[in-house]
Each structure stands twice: as C-alpha cells, then as structure tokens.
C-alpha cells in the first residue's frame, strides 16, 4: 500500500463519531456500517487494520454517473436468437395470444382457416401461434439497453 504511518492514517480518517463531516452521506453510512461489522472488542492491531481499510474507502473515486450507453440493435443472423432463450417464453406467448385474441374478437380476419374445434377467439389465436403465421416481431432487451428484434418464425418450436 502507501508508505503512510499509522499516525498519518489516523489523522486522515475521521473518528467514529465525526462521520457527519464527510461530504458524501452514502460513504459515511458505508464506513459506519463497516466499523460496526468489524465489532467493538478489537485489539489495537485489528483496529489499525480497520482504520487503514476505512482510509482506503475514503480515498477511492466516487463515480456519480456512468457514461451514457447508446442502445444498439443486435441483428438476427441466420434465424438465430442471441438474446434470451431460443424459444418463446410463456410470457411472450401469453402476450401474443392475448393481443391476437382481442384483435379477432374485434373483427380482425384470421390468418388460418378456422378449425371446427375452435369455439372462441382464444382458440383461433393459439392455433395461429402454433402454425407461426402471425406477422409479429418480438423485441428482447438486455439490461444495458441493447436489443434484438426477432421475427416469430425465427424461434424454435
């Protein structure tokens, strides 16, 4: 580490009761929590080690805001899904079927011949999804904002 003596370290670190003077309240709370976790019945050597680590915490640079990340579209290569699972999730299926059933119930024309077993618009929507005839694109987003627009026929069945 640095060549500071124990006295210099103690002088650069505020004592336990004077953390209010530290400019960043979050840092002050973190230091207080660290000291509390270290315990109360410490030897002089352990206490010096704790104070040394506290001084290291105080000397670290605090990053207020990360650089802005511009979201980028990840292309679908050879019908390969690279964001998330290769199949539709149950949530994606539910959203697609629900939206399509609503469209059908409001009078939208079906993309398939209506099967004789279909009694509701929900049955027709499920059959359309099974046959992959819906012109729908699923947008999957990563935590950093990057995304992939995936056509329905690119998913594995």
Q: What is the pLDDT of residue 129?
A: 95
Average pLDDT rounded to a whole number, residues 103-114? 95
User: In this predicted structure, what is the pLDDT of residue 20?
Assistant: 47
Are 147 and 101 in a shared domain?
yes
pLDDT tens digit string along 8-19? 545 555 555 554
Fill in the DSSP letter of residue 16. G
**Domain count within the chain:** 2
Q: So what's the pLDDT on residue 108? A: 96
The pLDDT value recorded for residue 138 is 94
CA 81 centroid distance within chain? 19
37 lies in a domain?
yes
Asked if the structure places residue 84 within a domain, the reply is no
| Number of residues that this document lists for the chain | 157
132 lies in some domain: yes
Domain span at 145: 90-154
Which has more confidence, 19 or 46?
Answer: 46
Last residue of a domain, one of 16, 36, 59: 59
What is the reported pLDDT for 124?
96
Query: Mean pLDDT across the stretch 85-109?
Result: 95
Same domain flag for 55 and 96:
no
Listing DSSP states for 134-149 in one string gives ---EEEEE-TTS-EEE
Contact status, residue 75 vs residue 140, Cβ threshold 8 Å: no
Rounded CA separation 41/49 (Å): 14
Q: Is the pLDDT of residue 63 over 50?
A: yes
Is the distance from CB of 47 to CB of 28 less than 8 angstroms?
no
Residue 80 lies in a domain: no
Question: What average pLDDT is seen over the chain?
Answer: 84
């Amino acid at each position: 580490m640095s060549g500071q003596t124990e006295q210099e370290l103690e002088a650069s670190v505020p004592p336990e009761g004077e953390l209010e003077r530290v400019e960043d309240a979050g840092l002050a709370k973190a230091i207080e929590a660290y000291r509390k976790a270290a315990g109360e019945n410490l030897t002089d050597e352990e206490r010096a080690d704790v104070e040394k680590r506290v001084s290291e915490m105080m000397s670290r640079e605090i990053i207020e805001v990360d650089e802005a990340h511009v979201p980028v579209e990840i292309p679908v290569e050879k019908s390969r899904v690279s964001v998330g699972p290769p199949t539709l999730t149950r949530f994606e299926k539910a959203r697609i079927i629900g939206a399509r059933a609503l469209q059908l119930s409001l009078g939208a024309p079906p993309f398939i011949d209506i099967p004789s077993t279909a009694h509701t618009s929900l049955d027709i929507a499920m059959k359309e999804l099974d046959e992959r005839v819906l012109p729908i694109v699923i947008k999957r987003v990563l935590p950093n904002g990057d995304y992939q627009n995936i056509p329905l026929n690119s998913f594995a069945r």
